[in-house]
Amino acid sequence: MSVYEIGLRLQGKSVLVVGGGSIAGRRVPRLLAAGARVLLVAPEATTTLSDYAAAGEIQWERREWRSGDGDDAWFVLAATDAPEVNAAVAAEAEARRTWCVRADDAAASDAWTLAHAEFDGVSVAVSASGDPRRAAAVRDAVAAGLRTGEIEAPRNRTTRPAGVALVGAGPGDADLITLRGLELLRQAEVVVSDRLAPQELLDMLGEDVEIVDAAKLPYGRHTTQEQINAVMVERALEGKFVVRLKGGDGFVFGRGAEELDACLEAGVPVEVVPGLSSSIAGPAAAGVPVTERGVVHDFTVATGHVPPGPQSKVNWTALGAGNGTIVLLMAVKNRAAIAAALIEGGRAPETPVRIVENATTKNQTVRECALADLGVTEAHHPSVIVIGDVAGRAREL
């Protein structure tokens, strides 16, 4: 079967959805994203749909479908578990010359919902003669090509974003950057990158993209934060779109707030794209949950860049006295002093510890020890150190 593909602009228009099951749960978010005013008619609904109704994002009438429900609708989705109800909804819609999708029977449906993906302002919709699995497979292949750059989607320069985007690139594996972060990176004219940002992401950039190395090696040479701020602002004021690419999340011990303030003070438009923080992703990649039901109900993320003492703003005594998970970033150099402070504060010397080095990358290494032995256990930058009962319950992945 062939179809005539078309895009519906549903902003402010009424859409009737009959049935509150999983299919409706998948379709309603896209209808809302398109700006449609959704009327849901169903005796019961999924948690997601009921949450939409509670928030006032959709209108939900908790009852069976009745003739006339679609009188004001521009588009109808029949998605109940009863074929006879879907057939009746579709027949009434056809009589009123309103397009209707029957979720249960593609052959009997006058309209189909196409397999859809969106990236960098490009929307892709695929039909495959009524075969949803095949359509989804092709959709996924095209979407992957757009994300990796294998499929070019040239952008009109006039639509390029302005200013600066502060993008968290995730814990190490290039695949763990968010779709929004990747979308903006593909449009960048200048990229200011840290050494902990996945370098594979830089390989996908065009030759005309300026890459500024803002590497800051621990306890060695470094670019000052003021220099980084100045480069971002200067390039943005020249009219170039700048992406500040940082490992993990720039707002977790990453000075993202300082960079945000620099842009705002200079009047430069700025967007923040959160990244997957290594403080949580690192342990998870090693099979260590930072919390676990019945084991621990809290966790603290602390920087070990400054050793325990007058200059540290971390209350190591309080952390030692607690029983929650402690996650340490930038703590390799000071790990012995930190372990001693925690034990002095009351944490048991035999408390399990896991050291996750180069988390999520092909070079990931996991070492285990007791807290008392942390100072003499091998560890290298970049590492995430997990202290607490959950560290003794690690799973082999």
Asked whether the beta carbons of 227 and 149 are under 8 A apart, the reply is no
Name the residue type at position 389: D
**What 8-state DSSP symbol labels residue 96?**
T
- 8 Å CB contact between 109 and 76: no
pLDDT at res. 81: 96
What is the three-state SS of 101-137? EECCCCCCCCECCCEEEEECCEEEEECCCCCHHHHHH
Q: What is the pLDDT of residue 217?
A: 46
Active-site residue (options: 104, 194, 246, 249): 194
Asked if residue 91 lies in contact with residue 67, where contact means CB atoms within 8 angstroms, the answer is: no
Q: Is the peptide bond before 382 cis (omega within 30 degrees of 0)?
A: yes
Measured between alpha carbons, how far is 235 from 39 in angstroms, rounded to an integer?
A: 48
Token pair recorded at residue 114: 């196409």
What gap in Å lies between CA 316 and CA 311, rounded to an integer?
A: 12
Q: Which tokens in the block code for residue 321?
A: 């006295």
Structural domains of the chain ordered from first start? 14-113 (3.40.50.720), 157-276 (3.40.1010.10), 279-393 (3.30.950.10)
Q: Nearest-CA neighbor of 286 among 382, 187, 359, 183?
A: 359
Per-residue pLDDT of the chain (397 residues; tens, 9 = 90+): 678 888 999 999 999 999 999 999 999 999 999 999 999 999 999 999 999 999 999 999 999 999 999 999 999 999 999 999 999 999 999 999 999 999 999 889 999 988 888 887 788 889 888 788 898 899 989 988 887 778 887 766 557 799 999 999 999 999 999 999 999 999 999 999 988 899 999 998 989 999 999 875 455 455 689 999 999 999 999 999 999 999 999 999 999 999 999 999 999 999 999 999 999 999 999 999 999 999 999 999 999 999 999 999 999 999 999 999 999 999 999 999 999 999 999 999 999 999 999 999 999 999 999 999 999 999 999 999 999 999 998 677 7
How much is the pTM?
Answer: 0.79
CA 261 – CA 182 distance, rounded (Å): 23
13 is catalytic: no
Measured from the Cβ of residue 100, the count of other Cβ atoms closer than 10 Å reads 23
Residue 216 appears among annotated catalytic residues: yes
Backbone angles phi, psi at 181, to 5 degrees: -60, -45
Phi, psi (deg, nearest 5) at residue 61: -105, 110
Structure token pair of residue 237: 């004021």
Residue bearing tokens 């679609």: 70
Q: CA 338 from chain center: how many Å?
A: 32
CB 76 within 8 A of CB 68: no
Collapse the DSSP code of 244 into the 3-class scheme (helix H, G, I; strand E, B; otherwise coil) and give the result: strand
Instruction: Note the pLDDT of residue 214.
Output: 86
List 216, 240, 373, 389, catalytic entry:
216
Q: Which tokens sit at 291?
A: 């919390």
Residue 301: phi and psi, rounded to 5, are: -105, 125
- Alpha carbon distance 221, 165 (integer Å): 25
Residue 216 CB coordination number (10 Å): 16
